[in-house]
Structure 1
Amino acid sequence: MLVSPDAVPTMTFDWGSIKWFVTPARIPGAGSTLGEVIVNPGKGHARHNHPNAEEIIYVISGEGMQMVDDGEPFPIREGDTVHIPAGAYHSTFNRTWRTLRLLVTYTPGGEEKALEGAPDYCLHEAGVIAEWRQA
């Protein structure tokens, strides 16, 4: 099954955006989740965990700082892969002026639903381009 980025909604937050291409709710029979995460310059997401799923982060482009399991943050850059065990607290921060683009998976899938409870969550329907404005 082909999934085009223009055919899926975009989640936005104060720190960036996410497009989930494969999720168990969207693709019949899918057991994992796959999406692209964009972390805006100078932004990052708060420390959190996924009690029931492991996460894998692949850095498509950009640079940032990654914390896993409350350890010391370490640099990540294009080509790096980070494994986050189920239940491990983690956070990602973009320390540069360029966007940080990540490919993210959850196994098993479904953890993306928790993001809908974030206070800065906004869903943009497929085909709508999200805009950021300076405050």
Structure 2
Amino acid sequence: MRLAAVDPHSRETMTFDWGSAKWYIQPDSVPETGLTFGEVVLNPGRGHDRHNHPGSEEVLYVLSGTGRQMLDDEEPFDVSPGDVVHVPRGVYHSTMNTGWTPMRLIAVYNPGGEEAALRGLPDFAPVPPGEVPRLRRE
């Protein structure tokens, strides 16, 4: 097996009304990997709705921006750069960007594959590898 760095421009971008996601490492695209690793961008004032991942735990690392994180239907708490959130398998959660700049997160699913469900969301639109997603104003 030949090992190499992953070129971010070689991956599609998943776009949604709330932001975008780019998955750099996935079980179906990187041989012999069992997890998913990617970057998620939440647009200002937007977030992803309450959901869960029955088959995977998730780890979120806040790179930039500020937000509110809900876990297990408890009261949401503030998150900011450097914060790490562990979401156990099957636990309901949501993340909301509370700032005026994009909120950037690293997301890891273990085991990988849960990101495939995002393709079924009604606001999903893929952006081909190498193309830049366009933000639209409401």
Q: State the 1:132 CA deviation.
A: 1.6
Q: Please say if 1:96 is aligned against 2:99.
A: yes
Q: Please say if 1:68 is aligned against 2:44.
A: no
In the alignment, the residues of structure 2 paired with residue 62 and residue 123 of structure 1 have an alpha-carbon distance, to the nearest angstrom, of: 24
Q: State the 1:4 CA deviation.
A: 1.7
TM-superposition CA deviations, 1:32-55 (whole Å, max 9, x none): 000000000000111000001000
Runs of at least 4 residues off by over 6 Å: none
In the alignment, the residues of structure 2 paired with residue 107 and residue 98 of structure 1 have an alpha-carbon distance, to the nearest angstrom, of: 29
In the alignment, the residues of structure 2 paired with residue 44 and residue 67 of structure 1 have an alpha-carbon distance, to the nearest angstrom, of: 11
TM-superposition CA deviations, 1:40-96 (whole Å, max 9, x none): 000011100000100000001111000011111000000000000000000000011
TM-superposition CA deviations, 1:4-53 (whole Å, max 9, x none): 21111000000000000000011011100000000000001110000010
Q: Percent identity?
A: 52
Partner of 1:31: 34
State how 1:6-45 maps to structure 2 within 5 Å: 6-45=9-48
Mark the runs of 5 or more structure 2 residues left unpaired by the alignment. Answer: none
In the alignment, the residues of structure 1 paired with residue 14 and residue 88 of structure 2 have an alpha-carbon distance, to the nearest angstrom, of: 24
Q: Please say if 1:122 is aligned against 2:125.
A: yes
Q: Please say if 1:109 is aligned against 2:112.
A: yes
TM-score of the aligned structures, taking structure 2 as reference length: 0.96
Q: How many residues align?
A: 135
Letter in structure 2 aligned against 1:29? E
TM-score of the aligned structures, taking structure 1 as reference length: 0.98
Pick from 84, 87, 101: which aligns with 2:87? Answer: 84
